[in-house]
């Protein structure tokens, strides 16, 4: 399977890693949309949020814990930040390996574009 995020998780493709453990990896987005733009992914290949199974419930919780940890480390926790997960084409999903976007360091707008 040719998945760029699997390759990043396996260190076969370079990325600026900010966190990794047995279940999750986080790295800087190559095309940042805010001063802080980190992607948090599971090591497990899950294409979209629609593919999550009951057995992935704890994994999803871990991804949020990792995002929170990075938000605190990067100093955006108190100011505020945004967590985004795009699902399928109309939401703008381009990489079909589940990922949380952690965005912060600037004021965010609502509704999102
Ligand atoms: P999506 O549009 O699927 O929600 O988000 C995919 C994100 O992955 C985009 O923000 C894009 O900039 C980022 N991205 C795509 N390819 C790479 C890559 O090879 N390395 C890194 N670090 N980020 C990538
Ligand atoms: Zn993958």
Mean pLDDT of 41-46: 98
Domain ranges of the chain: 4-104
Mean pLDDT of 37-57: 98
Q: Is 92 exposed, middle or buried (0-12, 13-18, 19+ CB in 10 A)?
A: exposed
- CATH class name, domain 4-104: alpha beta
- Residue 86 Cβ contacting ligand 1 at under 6 Å: yes
pLDDT of 20 > 90? The answer is: yes
Residue nearest atom 17 of ligand 1, based on CA coordinates: 30
111 Cα to the center of ligand 2, angstroms: 30
Our mutation pick for probing the ligand 1 site, out of 6, 37, 83, 95, counting the most ligand atoms within 8 A of Cβ, is 95
Q: Cα dist. 21→2, 35, 53, 108, 113 in Å?
A: 22, 24, 21, 29, 33
Locate the ligand 1 atom nearest the alpha carbon of residue 33 and give its number. Answer: 10
Q: How confident is the model at residue 113 (pLDDT cuts 50, 70, 90)?
A: confident
Q: Is 101 a catalytic residue?
A: no
pLDDT of 1 > 80? The answer is: no
Q: Write down the residue that tokens 């609502």 correspond to.
A: 110
Task: Give residue 56's pLDDT.
Answer: 98
pLDDT (tens digit, 9 = 90+) per residue, 55-112? Answer: 999 999 999 999 999 999 999 999 999 999 999 999 999 999 999 999 999 999 999 9
Global pTM?
Answer: 0.98
Q: Is 41 exposed, middle or buried (0-12, 13-18, 19+ CB in 10 A)?
A: buried
């Amino acid at each position: 399977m040719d998945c760029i995020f699997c390759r990043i998780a396996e260190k076969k493709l370079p990325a600026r890693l900010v966190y990794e453990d047995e279940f999750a990896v986080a790295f800087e987005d190559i095309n940042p949309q805010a001063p802080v733009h980190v992607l948090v992914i599971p090591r497990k290949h899950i294409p979209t949020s629609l593919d999550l199974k009951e057995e992935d419930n704890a994994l999803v919780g871990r991804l949020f814990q990792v995002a929170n940890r990075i938000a605190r480390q990067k100093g955006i926790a108190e100011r505020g930040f945004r967590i985004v997960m795009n699902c399928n084409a109309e939401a703008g999903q381009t990489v079909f390996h589940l990922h949380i976007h952690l965005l912060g360091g600037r004021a965010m707008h609502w509704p999102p574009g």
